[in-house]
Amino acid sequence: MRRNLKHLRNLSLDGGRFNDEGLRGLTNLTALRSLSLCSCHDITDEGLRAMVVPLSRHSLAAVDVANCKRLTYLQTAKGMGAICCAIHWNFRW
């Protein structure tokens, strides 16, 4: 099954009980272009950075984290530098 996921381009995990450990598991999805994590209340800035930085080197172009209550825009952007600017973000609360 994992072999089939390597070509996955769009993934929506909206409203799921998804946490930082789960985000780290996404780092091998190198074809991923769009990720939606709306209302995933268990992810943190640190977990998001740990997933985005490796994937941004490949094809990740858009991340939707609307209504993720534990995320803060400034803390998420901290440490990402130009990577943060190269990705389209949605931070609605």
Helices marked H in the chain — which ranges? Answer: 2-5, 20-24, 45-56, 73-77, 82-86
Does the pTM surpass 0.75? The reply is yes
Any idea which architecture 2-90 has in CATH? Alpha-Beta Horseshoe (3.80)
pLDDT of the residue at 11: 95
Burial 58-72 (b: 16+ CB within 10 A, else e): eebeebbbbbbebbe
pLDDT of the residue at 14: 95
- pLDDT by 10-residue block (mean), the chain, 93 residues: 77 92 91 93 90 86 89 68 67 62
